[in-house]
């Protein structure tokens, strides 16, 4: 008998056997009602690998009389699509076909466009899956003709029954009772990171190498940890997970939640992505803490330099220090908002001529010699003198507004007092 991977053997045959996805496949879930109704529209399944997208597509195929064609966009071509289209209207597919297109994000615009006419008139019912955000990865015309359903990451609690079922199947295969140390099943369920395929692969490897004693297969927690180590980290430097974790780190620091910030830092470091963490930390020091605590910038820079010199795993120490500092520091985005406002004016063409008294002195030797009229602030009390710095058409523009924190309010009081005296 040919070898069959455990992950394939355990694949659900009904919606009730699908792990997780209760939000769309539960008793009143919309996708469940659509499938049970039998009138299948064009669908796009979006979510991490191993969460049931292909399984649900197979179940849908069992409920329709249309022939099922499968393509993987990583290897398929226009000719493969033409072959499928060629069957439509023939005895092979008199009522059209059901096309399951895996990893649709790898189809270019032309390849995706080739499906439009047949999706429009119903001769092709498309079920596409993608691990990337379809609103970025799928051509708009295809997206407008399909309904998107998000498959969410499976929790350890949801994965545990599948782990137990996988172990039972392996017991039958190997003809021996499996005895697991406490915590083995729970560790596999947790370490698979919501990917049931990973969990089944881990079980298959673990039990195939398990020690036999008195007709029993003994599975230790140590072996389980070795087989399933770091599987829980779902991370792709080019995919949504990369940007989601980086965004969550930044927003947690901005939101003054050190625990959440440390959690997302840990996820980046566990994936070995120290550079993304460093970029967000450096950015947050100026964008979110800013003028409320300007010393955060050199302190954070010192932490980053230490981390780069130390390398992982020791780099976690100064980076954690930087994250905690930023998360617990007072916040001000006044300088950030100020530069955004200034750049918006520049982009709109609001620039104007630089006032003569601010121009470089080289202008005085250009053949148009005239008195520059610049007032040197250090020559006046308080090191300040009232003169125009912005171009005439922007002379009343105000980009920077002092924040309410102690640092900026102290600076405001200082300059208000000096300027009041000079008026």
- 11 within a domain of the structure (yes/no): no
Q: Are residues 244 and 179 in the same domain?
A: no
Specify burial of residue 167 (Cβ count, 10 A radius: 0-12, 13-18, 19+): buried
Give me the mean pLDDT over the 49-67 stretch: 81
- 98 within a domain of the structure (yes/no): yes
Which two tokens mark 28? 């009143």
Q: Are residues 133 and 47 in the same domain?
A: yes
CB neighbours (10 Å) of residue 212?
10
Give the separation between CA 123 and CA 301, rounded to whole angstroms: 59
Q: Are residues 144 and 162 in the same domain?
A: no
Residues 165-196 have pLDDT tens digits of 888 888 888 888 888 888 888 888 888 777 88
150 φ, ψ (degrees, to nearest 5): -95, 125
Closest C-alpha to 339, from 387, 299, 291:
291
Residues 250-297 have pLDDT tens digits of 999 999 999 999 999 998 888 778 888 999 999 999 999 999 999 999
- 418 within a domain of the structure (yes/no): yes
Query: pLDDT-derived band of residue 304, with 50, 70 and 90 as boundaries?
Result: very high
Closest C-alpha to 53, from 111, 103, 109:
103
Q: Are residues 166 and 130 in the same domain?
A: no
Give me the mean pLDDT over the 80-104 stretch: 75
- 145 within a domain of the structure (yes/no): yes
User: For residue 401, what is the domain's CATH number?
Assistant: 1.10.3710.10
CB neighbours (10 Å) of residue 204?
19
Whole-number pLDDT of residue 405: 93
Q: Are residues 176 and 254 in the same domain?
A: no
Q: Are residues 72 and 189 in the same domain?
A: no
Average pLDDT, the chain: 85
pTM of the model as a whole: 0.57
Number of domains, the chain: 4
Domain range for 164 is 156-227
Query: pLDDT-derived band of residue 154, with 50, 70 and 90 as boundaries?
Result: confident
Convert 321-358 to b/e letters by CB count within 10 Å (16 or more is b): bbbbbbbebbbbbbbebbeeeeeebeeeeeeeeebeee
Q: Are residues 45 and 161 in the same domain?
A: no
User: For residue 61, what is the domain's CATH number?
Assistant: 3.40.50.300
Q: Are residues 25 and 144 in the same domain?
A: yes
Q: Are residues 300 and 395 in the same domain?
A: no
Q: Are residues 119 and 26 in the same domain?
A: yes
Whole-number pLDDT of residue 95: 64
User: For residue 261, what is the domain's CATH number?
Assistant: 1.20.272.10
Q: Are residues 70 and 143 in the same domain?
A: yes
DSSP assignment, residue 293? S
Q: Are residues 128 and 166 in the same domain?
A: no
Last residue of a domain, one of 195, 227, 259: 227
Convert 219-236 to b/e letters by CB count within 10 Å (16 or more is b): beeebbeebbeebbbbbe
Helices (H), 95-195: 109-113, 116-120, 134-137, 140-144, 156-174, 184-191
pLDDT over threshold 90, residue 407: yes
């Amino acid at each position: 008998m040919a070898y069959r991977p455990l992950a394939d053997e355990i694949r659900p045959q009904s919606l009730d056997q699908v792990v997780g996805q209760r939000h769309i496949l539960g008793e009143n879930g919309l996708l469940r009602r659509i499938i049970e109704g039998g009138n299948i529209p064009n669908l796009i399944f979006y979510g991490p690998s191993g969460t049931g997208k292909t399984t649900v597509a197979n179940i849908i195929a069992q409920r329709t009389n249309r022939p099922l064609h499968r393509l993987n966009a990583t290897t398929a071509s226009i000719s493969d699509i033409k072959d499928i289209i060629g069957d439509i209207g023939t005895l092979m597919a008199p009522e059209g076909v059901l096309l399951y297109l895996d990893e649709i994000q790898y189809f270019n615009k032309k390849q995706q466009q080739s499906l439009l006419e047949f999706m429009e008139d119903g001769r092709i019912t498309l079920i596409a899956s993608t691990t990337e955000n379809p609103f970025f990865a799928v051509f708009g015309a295809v997206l407008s003709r399909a309904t998107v359903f998000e498959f969410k990451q499976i929790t350890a609690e949801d994965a545990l029954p599948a782990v137990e079922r996988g172990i039972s199947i392996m017991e039958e295969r190997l003809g021996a009772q499996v005895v697991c140390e406490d915590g083995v099943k729970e560790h596999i369920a947790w370490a698979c990171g919501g990917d049931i395929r990973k969990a089944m692969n881990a079980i298959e490897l673990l039990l195939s190498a398990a020690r036999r004693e008195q007709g029993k297969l003994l599975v230790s927690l140590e072996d389980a940890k070795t087989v399933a180590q770091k599987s829980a980290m779902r991370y792709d430097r080019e995919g949504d997970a990369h940007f989601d974790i980086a965004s969550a780190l930044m927003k947690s620091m901005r939101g003054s939640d050190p625990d959440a910030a440390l959690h997302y830092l840990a996820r980046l470091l566990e994936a070995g992505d120290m550079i993304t963490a460093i970029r967000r930390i450096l950015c947050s020091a100026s964008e979110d803490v800013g003028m409320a605590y300007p010393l955060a910038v050199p302190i954070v820079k010192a932490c980053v330099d230490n981390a780069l010199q130390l390398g992982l795993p020791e780099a976690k120490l100064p980076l954690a220090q930087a994250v905690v500092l930023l998360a617990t520091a007072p916040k001000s985005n006044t300088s950030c908002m100020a530069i955004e406002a200034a750049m918006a004016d520049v982009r709109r063409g609001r620039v104007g001529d630089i006032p003569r008294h601010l121009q470089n002195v080289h202008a005085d030797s250009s053949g148009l010699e005239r008195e520059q009229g610049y007032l040197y602030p250090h020559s006046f009390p308080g090191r300040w003198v009232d003169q125009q710095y912005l171009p005439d058409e922007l002379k009343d523009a105000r980009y920077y507004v002092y924040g309410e924190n102690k640092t900026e309010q102290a600076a405001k009081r200082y300059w208000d007092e000096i300027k009041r005296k000079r008026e």
